[in-house]
Structure 1
Amino acid sequence: MSNRSITGDAGDAPLTEARQPIGTEDWWAVGIGLLAIVVAYASFAAGSSIKWLAVAPAKWSSVTQLTGDLASHANGYIALFVVFAAAFSLAIGALGLPVGRFLAGFFVVFVASAIIFAAGAWAQASTYNLEPPLIALALGLVVSNLFTLPAWLAPALRVEFYIKVGIVLLGATLPLTLIVWAGPVAIGQATIVSLVTFFVIYGVARALSIDKRFAAVLGVGGAVCGVSAAIAIAGAVRARREQASVAITLVVIWAIVMVFALPAVSRVLGLPTGIAGAWIGTSEFADAAGIAAAQAYGDYARHAAGAVAGAPEASLQAFVLMKVVGRDIWIGIWAFVLAIIATTRWERDAADGVQARPHAGEIWSRFPKFVIGFVIASASVTWVASHYSLADYRSVVTPAFVAPIVALRTWAFTFCFLSIGLTTRFSLLAGAGGKPLVAFTAGVVVNVVIGYLLSVHVFAPYWAALGQ
């Protein structure tokens, strides 16, 4: 993906109006993400941890508890802002964009994200599915569609940059060995869903005369990982900015619908936690929304006095195996395949219609480099995990090394989802007409049905036994 924005980063200025960039946004995201992982590991290897830096509000049930916790960790929040601001500013400056304008807006984004984190830490938040990324998304959507944002805030709403950093950090929380621990069932089910959903959306879109590139973005957005997948594929096939924005809007709308609908239907059907989590992981379109839905069902099982079978944590475990491990790995696969197809088949000489000759360099230039960062991060943590048993990994490595990275990742995703909300206009969806909605909704229906059949019937014994 190029260093130019595709997803509606309102603050992006044409590079011709700024200094000559050094590197690309993808590589800067990879560098920042991997540097964070290296620092976290160095601290862990020295017998310490960066938990003091990767702060987040603790659970609270009264305002007094919240203010006391925030006051006790004030230095940590200040340090975290300084670290984020310094790292991001270095990249912004290297890309030839105005650092001062970015910092002014980023301060507001950070403070808003901290408030969102605090709301998500409320003791009753899980009852209402109030996960921080989901709150950020909903808040941003409300503000952007009801009010006019000040122009000085726009440079800090860098959707792509935040999500790329978050995806690299995501790799550190998913060692490659987790795929082995998950077994062939999760990978197989995710593969079936990814392929079938993509071809249904793409086929319906093409039948409705939607452009190939737009159809591809819609297809992968529904088949894999929602927003981040749409971003990656838009860059791989060079879809237009507004096409990626419409795809993201559709993903957001359906993700919000599913975060409430899937747990509710699972309750009505009385599904075991592992089976419900697998269905949510197969049918949800965004990691943050899916995590909220899976966690909500697990909490329901915990307080349902035996009304739901399965361990409460199995819901979230199944979701992670299905969505984060099984489906999300298809981002790189689809990006690579579609970049080749777009370069070798879709692009023809405008003058004589002769098919353009493929160039390996062109394919490479379009490939989303942050996926490489994801793989490097995952391989690195796999190496660390190889020195521990699964039990020791969970009890020793996860709290001191992985958990702080998870916190940093959640901050990055919160920045991203808040920025998505603040730069998404529902009027774009209306302006695109009903065809994209019809195509994407066809995939939603297929996704939910296939996910139900595979989770509740075909692979039910595997998912029901998860966590036992």
Structure 2
Amino acid sequence: MSIDLTSEDNSNTVRKSGWFELIRKEDWWAVWIGLFLVLTGILFWTTGHSIKVLTAQIPRWTDFQTLGGALSSHAGSTILLFVTYLILFSITAAFLRIKVGQFAAGFTLLFIISVAINIFSSWGWAQQYNLEAPIVALAIGLIAGNLIPLSGWFSSALRTELYVKVGIVLLGATLPFTLIIQAGPVAFLQATVIAVITFFVIYFAGTRWFGLDKHFAATLGVGGSVCGVSAAIAVGGAIKAKKEHVSISISLVVIWAVAAIFLLTFLIKLLGIPAGPAGAWIGTSEFADAAGVTAASSFGDHALNSFTLIKVIGRDIFIGVWAFILAFISITFWENKKSGTKADASEIWHRFPKFIIGFFAASILLTIFIAANSASGRAVINTDVIAPIKEFRTWAFTFTFLSIGLTTRFKELTSFGWRPFAAFSTGAVVNIILGYVLSVLVLQNFWASL
């Protein structure tokens, strides 16, 4: 995972790949898939139809007779949903050089399990005890993934990052751009304050208290403060951290991200925190997009919106900037010998999470489309375009939750010493506390009224 991002050879490779990366990068395929579904929804509506024919929402049921009727009436849309996602993801797999046959077989099984989870979560008894699909999917994934050996063909379909990025692009289509403009500055300020504090806490604890290498401590710091796995990989490569240090940072992010899903969900319900502030707290204090979406989805669209504003606008968007700044510091102050390298500002773009472009594009596209129609037309658009896109988003996130659980191995996450864990955990605790103070105490009214 540790790659030389500042060497001349690597820079030339990146420049040569230019347009080629548009079809070879997972981030870009998340953009293409998300925008394709959004544009399809608009096209269907303009021709007098609705994309909801391609989506499947399993209604609440209390007995098997009701369930049978619901499944029968939604069988066609469920099959169309499966075929749509299978085609789009299989095309992506082909360009990402994943064996398409294995991926298709694995995704078929993943989809079947996702349907079963949604059926269970729609059960009246499950809803009575708040057993939402995200938590159920994660729990089943964790149990199955750690007890049952997974075949290679199935593992090839567990593309957590792809699914969550597609979901985030689709989330942009359901989040008005005017809302992003309104809340963006506050989200950016809140996230920046906590990100900077968390980074320095982890870095200070790692270097001063636990004797970690500066490069290692910096990689841990961005993993716990900016954007989890993606930030650890980007910054680890930019500052030439040892690949085992990047791997340990990723493992710690996964451990805390999964733990935070249950911890934050429990605390929010225990304290009775409203959805808006709850989502902001999750967006501020979760360590990975997929895990944050899992937690925020449990509290509805309001929480998911505030989570996204904090996590995407406040944290994800600046991965490239952090990589550039720390690469400059590493080369200028940490390197003992002059290596002839220099920090290249183009790394800000190379490391920028491209799926965020899709998020903004989808938001702008739908906002303009809605504004161009009458008030009566907007109500129909909400039913025939936005609601189905939300269903596509929900299924993409379900694939994400399952993939997180199925790919998390508890044994592998305990293979490192206590010092990195202690340093990261110190920052994680500070992060969660500060996140609560800002989201629930200081800015509660803002996030609640969003």
Q: By the TM > 0.5 criterion, same fold?
A: yes
Q: 2:59 touches 2:70 (CA, 8 Å); kept in 1?
A: yes
1:288 to 293, 299, 308: 293
1:33 aligned onto 2:18: no
Alignment of 1:398-409 (within 5 A): 398-409=382-393
Q: Measured at CA, do residues 419 and 211 of structure 1 come closer, stay the same or move farther in structure 2, by a change above 3 Å?
A: farther
Question: For residues 124 and 446 of structure 1, what CA distance do their matches in structure 2 show?
Answer: 37
State the match for 2:369 in structure 1: 384
**Contact 2:41 2:385 (C-alpha < 8 Å) held by counterparts:** yes
**Residues in 2 aligned to 1:416 and 1:213: alpha-carbon distance in whole angstroms:** 31
Q: How does 1:283-432 map to 2 (within 5 A)?
A: 283=285, 286-294=291-299, 317=302, 319-320=303-304, 322-346=306-330, 352-354=337-339, 356-387=341-372, 395-432=379-416
Change (3 A) 1:424 1:456: closer
Compute the displacement of 1:400 (Å). Answer: 2.1
The structure-2 alpha-carbon separation of the partners of 1:52 and 1:121, relative to structure 1 and needing over 3 Å to count, comes to same
Please identify, of 42-51 and 236-245, the stretch whose mean Cα deviation from structure 2 is larger. 236-245
Contact residue 235 and residue 367 of structure 1 kept, 8 A: no
Deviation at 1:335, TM superposition (A): 0.7
Determine the structure 2 residue equivalent to 1:258.
264
1:337 Cα deviation after fit? 1.2
SS at match of 1:52: helix
The alpha-carbon deviation at position 457 of structure 1 amounts to: 4.0
Post-superposition shift, 1:99?
A: 0.7
Q: 1:431 to 1:90 in 2, by over 3 A?
A: same
Residue number in structure 1 paired with 2:228: 230
1:178-203 deviations in Å (ceiling 9; x for gaps): 13454865554444334433433344
Tell me the alpha carbon deviations over residues 31-59 of structure 1, each in whole angstroms, 9 at most, x when there is no partner: 11111111112123334321121212111
2:47 aligned with 1:50: no
Q: Is the 8 Å Cα contact of residues 312 and 356 (structure 2) preserved in structure 1?
A: no
- Taking a change above 3 Å as real, the CA distance of residues 404 and 179 of structure 1, as seen in their structure-2 partners, is same
- Whether the 8 Å CA contact 1:182–1:321 is kept in 2: the answer is no
Q: Give 1:282 shift.
A: 4.7
The match for 2:426 among 442, 459, 465 is 442
SS of residue in 2 equivalent to 1:329: helix
CA distance in 1, matches of 2:408, 2:312: 23
Are 1:92 and 2:93 counterparts? yes
- 1:364–1:451 CA distance, 2 compared to 1 (3 A): closer
Aligned residue identity for 1:247:
V
Deviations 1:51-105 (A, max 9, x none): 1212121112222222221121111111111111111111111222211111111
Q: TM-score, normalised by structure 2?
A: 0.81
Matched, 1:196 2:197: yes
Supply the distance in 2 between the matched residues of 1:383 and 1:430 (Cα, whole angstroms): 49
Looking at structure 1, the residues matched to 72 and 170 of structure 2 have their Cα atoms a distance apart, in angstroms, of 28
Counterpart CA distance in 1 for 2:274 and 2:159 is 40
Query: Partners of 2:123 and 2:326 in 1: how far apart?
Result: 47
**Structure 1 length as normaliser, TM-score?**
0.78
Q: Secondary structure at the match of 2:98?
A: coil
CA distance in 1, matches of 2:274, 2:48: 40
Partner of 1:310: none
Partners of 1:448 and 1:462 lie apart in 2 by: 19
Runs of 5+ unmatched residues, structure 1: 3-19, 296-315
For the Cα contact (< 8 Å) 1:250–1:437, is it kept in 2? no
Aligned 1:58-77 pairs, distance under 5 A = 58-77=59-78
Equivalent position of 2:102 in the other structure: 101
CA gap of 1:260–1:117, structure 2 versus 1, over 3 A, is same
Q: 1:126 to 1:347 in 2, by over 3 A?
A: farther
1:178-217 aligned at under 5 Å gives the runs 178-182=179-183, 188-207=189-208, 208-210=210-212, 215=217
Offset at residue 241 of structure 1 (A): 4.4
Residues 29, 164 of structure 1: 8 Å contact kept = yes
1:243 correspondence with 2:249: yes
d(CA) in 2 for partners of 1:406, 1:367: 26
Distance of aligned partners of 1:235 and 1:284 in 2 relative to their CA distance in 1, 3 Å threshold: closer
SS at match of 1:426: coil
Displacement of 1:161 in angstroms is 1.9
Cα displacement (A) at 1:252: 0.8
CA gap of 1:381–1:341, structure 2 versus 1, over 3 A, is same
In structure 2, C-alpha distance between the alignment counterparts of 1:101 and 1:134, rounded to whole Å = 27
Conserved? CA contact 1:176–1:382, under 8 Å? yes
Gaps of 5+ in 2: 3-19, 238-242
Of 336-345 and 74-83, the range deviating more from structure 2: 336-345
Residues in 2 aligned to 1:455 and 1:274: alpha-carbon distance in whole angstroms: 9
Q: Which residue of 2 aligns with 1:134?
A: 135
Q: 2:250 & 2:158 partners in 1: Cα distance?
A: 16
2-structure distance, mates of 1:222, 1:350: 24
Who is 1:8 aligned against? Answer: none
CA distance in structure 1 between the partners assigned to 2:377 and 2:221 by the alignment: 37
